[in-house]
Amino acid sequence: MDKFRKSLLLSIKIGIGCSAAVYLAQHLQLDYAASAGTITLLTVMTSKWESLRLAGLRIVTFLQTVVLAWAVFTFIPNPWVAYGILLATVVFIAEISGWRATTSVNAVIAAHLLSDKNLDHAVWNEFGLVMIGIVIAILMNLYHANAINRKSLITHMRRAEKRLQEILEILADYLANCPQERSVWDEICALEQELQEYVHEAYEYQNNTFPSHPLYYISYFEMRYDQCQVLHNLHYEMKKIRTMPKEAAVISEYIRYLIPYVVEYNHPESQSEELARICNEMKKEELPQTMEALESRAMLYHILMDLEEFLVYKARFIRGLDEQQKRKYWKA
């Protein structure tokens, strides 16, 4: 449904923007008025920041195309040879400069300049089309339903937290030798894929919002993705344990204690202290007498280190917040 809404909004903006651009070009009695709509189409399909960057590039490359056209058409009398050389030069410069997005519009401009016998008139005509196209595109891109998109990101945050809590519950059951009804591998892999999609949506939101503070959402989902990978490693360590030692029950209880704190506004300081206490208690216990038990104890230490890394990612995320982000987003 979210994809449907975005596609519908984009389609409406393109339809309105292109129509407005063509109407304005016709009202100003510019030749090739439909090209203004095409320029709007090719510019409105980007983010706000990309639209501004692309608008600047369109103006720069337009001037470049005009200068090249004047030089080529002046010294090469054959029109189709001149057009081929001009287009090849425009494409070459665009490719080596990383400006491929400007190629299609400049190719159309070159064709119009070739068709018009009065180069001065053609230049001003094309400049008018370019300006109308990019201005309308920028105006259309000012609206991106950011309030709705932000609510969607917050919903994703709550869902990611809930899924992490569910995975931790499964891992706690595994350490406690409880029956497993779901595949934890599948749960973790599915969440990793979802989090990658959430990161992509957060980048889209960032690129369509002029202030820089929405970087908060990107950092948050990347932190949760890192935590998800930690749980992947943690489960891998669990699978290596042949016989579950009695200390596993202590770690299982700790994970259950940790679950309610896997939320946005929690600083994991207390959870880190409790984990350190458990590690110290385990160090005081006697070493196992058999090799198998010793290996199982070593796996438990690896699990504890994974849990510590899980908490470190959250603490690092909090430390990375600037004052503006803390005022706007952080509530604890």
Instruction: State phi, psi for 109 to the nearest 5 degrees.
Output: -60, -45
- 315-to-164, 213, 270, 308 alpha-carbon distances in Å: 17, 19, 11, 10
Per the listing, tokens 């894929």 go with 193
**Over 60: is that where the pLDDT of 1 sits?**
no
- Amino acid identity of residue 69, one-letter, is A
What's the CA gap between 252 and 265, in Å, rounded?
24
- pLDDT at position 44: 83
User: Which of 169-183, 198-212, 218-232, 244-258 has the largest mean confidence?
Assistant: 218-232
Task: Look up the pTM and report it.
Answer: 0.75
Comma-separated ranges of CATH 1.20.120.940 domains in the chain: 146-328
- The answer to whether the beta carbons of residues 40 and 13 sit under 8 Å apart is no
pLDDT in tens, 210-255: 665 668 999 999 999 999 999 999 988 888 777 777 788 889 999 9
The CB density around residue 256, as the number of other CB atoms within 10 Å, is: 16
Tokens of 163: 């899924």
The CATH architecture that domain 146-328 belongs to is Up-down Bundle (1.20)
Q: Higher confidence at residue 281 or residue 164?
A: 164
- Amino acid identity of residue 264, one-letter, is E
- pLDDT at position 326: 82
pLDDT in tens, 142-160: 776 677 888 889 999 999 9
